[in-house]
Structure 1
Amino acid sequence: MLARQHVPYPFHITRSFALDPRLPELATLYLQSASGGLYRGDRLRLDIEAGRGAHVHLTSQAATVVHRTPDAPALLTTTVTVREHAFLALTNDPFILFPEASFVSSMDVTVAVGARVIVSDGFATHDPEARGCPFDRLETCVRILDADGRLIATERSNLSGRGFAGVSSPLGTYRAMGSILVLGPRLGEIDPHALTAEVEPLGCCAGMSELPNGGGLIIRCLTMTGGNLARAMDHLFAAAFIALMGERPARRPK
C-alpha cells in the first residue's frame, strides 16, 4: 500500500499494483507525467525513499520526450535512498532527445546494508522533420553512496549532439544507449555471455562490468533505435531482477 506521497506537477504516481504472484510483498507503481515531456528551462526534482524492508518497483508510463531547449537545458535531479534490507527498482523508459534538446540528469543513490537496488536509464534520438538536426547536449551523472554518505562509485557522461551524430561518434553507428546498475547482495549470478546472446537478436550490443569498491554491477547496451532499446532493457532488467530477487518479474503492462 502507498501510505503517503507528495507529487507536484508534472509528476503523478498511480496506485500500487501487485503484479508478481510469487512476490506478493512487491508493489509496482507507475510514475506518470502530465506535461508531455521536458521543456526549455524545466527544473525537476524527484526524491524516492524505500523504507526498511520495503519492496517496490517504480517505472515510467512510457518514453519521455526532451523538447528543443535553446539556452536553457532541462534539468532532472533524482535522489534515491534505499534503507536496510529493502528492494527498490527504478526503471525509466528511454528519454527521447529531439533536435536542439539539451538535457542534464543527475542522480544520487544511497544504499544501506542489505539493500538491493536496480536503476536503469536509456537515451535515444528522434528528428521528426528529418532535417538532420541533432540534439544539443546530454549530460548525466550517477553517484552511488553507502548509508554513511561515503562515495562508492560515480558514472559521468557528457555528449554533444554533433559528436554523437558525426563519423567519429563514440557510439559508432548506434543511435540509442542504456545502462542498468545492479547493487547489493545477489541471490544469483548474471552470465554475461548468455545476456549478450539474449539481446543480440534485437540488434543490441551489451556488456557488463564490476563497479569499484564492491559496489555491484553495471550493464550497458547500444542499439540503433529507441524501440529496440526499450525491448533490450526489458531483457536486461529481467536478468538483474532474477539475480537480486530469485524470481522472473511479471510483465509490466504499458
Structure 2
Amino acid sequence: MKIDARATQLREIAADESDTWHHAALVFAVDTRGRTYIKSQFGGYPFHFCRPFHLAGDPDGMATVYVQSCSGGVFEQDRLALRIDATARSHVHMTTAASTIVHGMHAGRAIQCVDIDVGEGALVEYMPNMLILFPQARMESNVTVRLAASGTVVLCDTFIAHDPSASGCGFDTLTCTTAIHSTAGKVLALDRYSINADTLYECIPGITGMLPVVGNFIVATKVVPAQDLLEELRRALLGISAIYGGVSLLPNELGIAVRVLADDAIPLNNALDTLWRRTRECLLVGSAAISRRK
C-alpha cells in the first residue's frame, strides 16, 4: 500500500529527531449484505490487527477491530502513524486490547499520529484504552479527522501517571491535539492540551484539582442536533459518582466535547463507558452499545 501523504509529511517534520516512522493503515468498506469489512490493510512493526468481530446487538454490520502492539509499549523516539479510512456507510469500532505504557525517556520523545477519514453515512468509534505515563515519559499524540457531512466520529483519550518504583518522579510532558476537518480541508474543531506531572499533582483549582486521572470524549456529527447530545450527556454525568465532568458544544454546531476528571481509573472508565452508551443510543435509536472484552 502506498504510504499516506500525511504520514510522509509528519516524517519529514520530525526528521531531525528520528528517520524511522512505523506505519499502519486500514480501509473499511461495506459488502453486499451491509456488513463492514477490511478492504485493505497494512501493518508494520509494532502494529497488529485482530480480525474484525461482528457482535450481536451492535448496529447491523458494525465491525469491531482491536489494535495491538508487539513492542510492550511506547518508547523514546517511537514514531507511530495509523491511518483509518472508513468509506461510505461503514460502521467501525476501534479499540485496544489493554492500556498502553509510555516508558521513561532520556532526551527524546515519542510521537503518535492517527489519521481518520470518515465517509458519507459512516460511523467511526476510535476508543483506545488509557495511556499509562511512566516517570520521564514524553509523548505527543495527534489525531486528525476528515469528516464527511453525514459522517460521525466518536473519539476518546485518557491518561494516568504511574511511578512503579516509587521514585518520586513523574512524567515529563503529554501533548495531545485533536483536529477535525471537513473533506474540503476546513478546520471545524480543534482541541489541544499539554500537561506535565508537576501541574497534574499540584492540585491546582481550575485545572485538575484533587483529581489526577483525565479523560476526554468527543462526538462530531450532524446526524443529531448538538444541543440534544449536550443535554443527554449532561444528564448522564449527573448519575455518575466519584468524577467531575463537563460537556461543551463544539464550534460549527459539530457536536460535543466532554472532559472528565477522577481520582482513579475505575470511575473514569465507568464514566466514559456511560457516555459512549448514551451517545450510541442518541445516534442509533434502538441500538445498544455492547461491551468489548479486554
Q: Which bracket does the TM-score occupy, shorter chain normalised? A: over 0.9
- The aligned counterpart of 1:209 is 248
Question: In the alignment, is the contact (CA less than 8 A) between 1:30 and 1:61 conserved in 2?
Answer: yes
Q: Secondary structure at the match of 1:220?
A: strand
Corresponding letter in the other structure for 2:42:
H
CA shift at 1:37, angstroms?
0.7
Runs of 4 or more, structure 1, over 3 Å off, are 186-190
- The aligned counterpart of 1:132 is 168
Corresponding letter in the other structure for 1:70:
H
Q: How many residues align?
A: 252
User: Structure 1 residues 186-195 or 136-145, which shifts more?
Assistant: 186-195
Question: In the alignment, is the contact (CA less than 8 A) between 2:95 and 2:128 conserved in 1?
Answer: yes
> 1:181 pairs with 200, 218, 221, which one?
218
Q: Distance in 2 between matches of 1:119 and 1:129?
A: 32
- The aligned counterpart of 2:264 is 225
User: Which has the higher Rg, Structure 1 or Structure 2?
Assistant: 2
Q: Distance in 1 between matches of 2:47 and 2:280?
A: 26
Q: Distance in 2 between matches of 1:116 and 1:197?
A: 25
Question: In the alignment, is the contact (CA less than 8 A) between 1:19 and 1:252 conserved in 2?
Answer: no
Deviation string 1:66-109 (CA, Å, 9 cap, x unpaired) is 01012111110111110111111100111011111111001111
- The aligned counterpart of 2:21 is none
Corresponding letter in the other structure for 2:72:
G
Corresponding letter in the other structure for 1:173:
M
Instruction: Output the aligned Cα RMSD.
Output: 1.5
Q: Distance in 1 between matches of 2:176 and 2:222?
A: 26
Question: In the alignment, is the contact (CA less than 8 A) between 1:175 and 1:223 conserved in 2?
Answer: yes
Which runs of no fewer than 5 residues in structure 1 stay unpaired?
none
Q: Distance in 2 between matches of 1:90 and 1:212?
A: 21
Question: In the alignment, is the contact (CA less than 8 A) between 2:154 and 2:219 conserved in 1?
Answer: yes
Q: Secondary structure at the match of 1:241?
A: helix
Q: Secondary structure at the match of 2:85?
A: strand
Q: Distance in 1 between matches of 2:63 and 2:109?
A: 33
- The aligned counterpart of 1:249 is 289
- TM (norm. structure 2) is 0.82
Question: In the alignment, is the contact (CA less than 8 A) between 2:161 and 2:197 conserved in 1?
Answer: no
Q: Distance in 1 between matches of 2:94 and 2:61?
A: 14
Task: Give matches, 1:27-66, under 5 Å.
Answer: 27-66=63-102
User: Structure 1 residues 100-109 or 126-135, which shifts more?
Assistant: 126-135
Corresponding letter in the other structure for 2:166:
A
> 1:95 pairs with 120, 131, 136, which one?
131
Q: Do structure 1's residue 107 and structure 2's residue 143 form an aligned pair? A: yes
Corresponding letter in the other structure for 1:86:
A
> 1:171 pairs with 195, 208, 211, which one?
208
- TM (norm. structure 1) is 0.94
CA shift at 1:158, angstroms?
1.1
CA shift at 1:165, angstroms?
1.6
Q: Distance in 2 between matches of 1:96 and 1:75?
A: 15
Q: Distance in 2 between matches of 1:23 and 1:174?
A: 35
Question: In the alignment, is the contact (CA less than 8 A) between 2:103 and 2:137 conserved in 1?
Answer: yes
